[in-house]
Structure 1
């Protein structure tokens, strides 16, 4: 397969759509939930949409958890803030902070936190986690400390390339409850690409500050499928047991296989 073909673009977009797990596309109309957990990432769009929604519709949730410590990609979040046309004023202030504290600074400086909390939405900060599993475990601890032991509904927001795996981590963490939690994925947007003169460009309208290079984006989505598999080398219950079982459609596996073979033999650009 030609790496710069409509077929390859279709495979990329199919894989990206599956991983983004966009169950909530419009926060303005979704029914209220018990909690929203915002996992920090270099892509700021999802966080911005949540903050905007809470400012205009603070009753959407009783608890907002800002989630993320200092990990291998924290520097990318710093870079996104530094390069942002609004948030760059925070560039010096956020250096060395956990990711959740970076989000908190953005919330405090550019959104109306007082209005949000005045409507009895509590803002909680989980600033120790360094991976998806810890995002889930430490967020549960923070919520339980606030009295939320068994939420019924929860929106999880994460980088679109990691949304499905993150939600599966939360399902795994809460699997011991007698009544399962309804977790809904909110990636903010679903990334997609198209060809322009033998080069991929993003077509998603949310392609704003912090978006990955196309090469990085492809590395991320190709790396996710092996993690999601429920076998000895995957993260599912039959493997490392980090996440709940995820059904991977045959069409997604086929798209992943074609792209994996193709990019072994072609340098991305």
Structure 2
């Protein structure tokens, strides 16, 4: 397994819970329209879901989402979206697929994962759900899972990450290449590098990370030595961190 494949494999570990069910799904801001449309398909057929929360304000990632929508789904793109928050853009895409009557909530101010979790929790005040599905960029899903667990005061098992399809990296030379070639366009090479390498740095519990030994944004995460070794070998390829 290549170093980058090992990092992606670690970041996209999916906790299995075949009996999980919840009335609530949270869709966190991301730049992958295919993921948003897949969420719409899931909610259309999953009758147990009664509420969908779209989370995300306007930030650096918003332009990536807009560009991806315009390039890959021009038939769905609307010009007025250029003034929308990520939550509003995601809702528009979602509604092109899902026609079921659902409670739709929007959180339009958050600009990072911590705010995604905290501000979405504040939408509910004292009546927050005790469990929910969580959809996020697969490369950000692990840290998002830990972050939402901490901010919502819920055990990890109460939050079920939802990938629809796990990305399996075949190789990375000048750009990522996945087992499902349709995913090759999901992340531009510089953004892919920033996400994969940046997420390992944030998850590793040392003075540079987001765990208790660092910024204390998330609980302790055990990153295997083999993953850290791959991270250190890959780190030199990140010349310019472009993530927002």
Same fold (TM over 0.5): yes
CA contact (8 A) 1:52 1:111 kept: yes
2:242 corresponds to: none
Q: Which string of whole-angstrom CA distances, capped at 9 and with x for unpartnered residues, describes residues 57-115 of structure 1? A: 232x2321111111111100010111123x5442302111000100111123x1233xx
Unmatched segments (≥5 aa) in structure 2: 240-244
CA contact (8 A) 1:160 1:188 kept: no
CA contact (8 A) 2:170 2:179 kept: no
From the CA coordinates, give the structure whose radius of gyration is larger: 1
2:105 aligned counterpart, secondary structure: strand
Unmatched segments (≥5 aa) in structure 1: 1-6
1:140 Cα shift? 0.8
Give the TM-score, by structure 2 length: 0.85
Residue of structure 1 aligned with 2:78, choices 66, 88, 91: 91
1:235 Cα shift? 0.8
Residue of structure 1 aligned with 2:61, choices 73, 95, 98: 73
Matched, 1:190 2:171: no
Matched residues, number: 239
2:229 corresponds to: 254
Q: Which string of whole-angstrom CA distances, capped at 9 and with x for unpartnered residues, describes residues 236-260 of structure 1? A: 1221111122111112111112222
**Which of the pair has the greater relative contact order for Cα pairs under 8 Å at 6+ separation?**
1
1:141 corresponds to: 122
What's the Cα RMSD here? Answer: 2.7
CA contact (8 A) 2:5 2:171 kept: no
Q: Which string of whole-angstrom CA distances, capped at 9 and with x for unpartnered residues, describes residues 102-131 of structure 1? A: 0111123x1233xx22xxx42211111100
Give the TM-score, by structure 1 length: 0.78
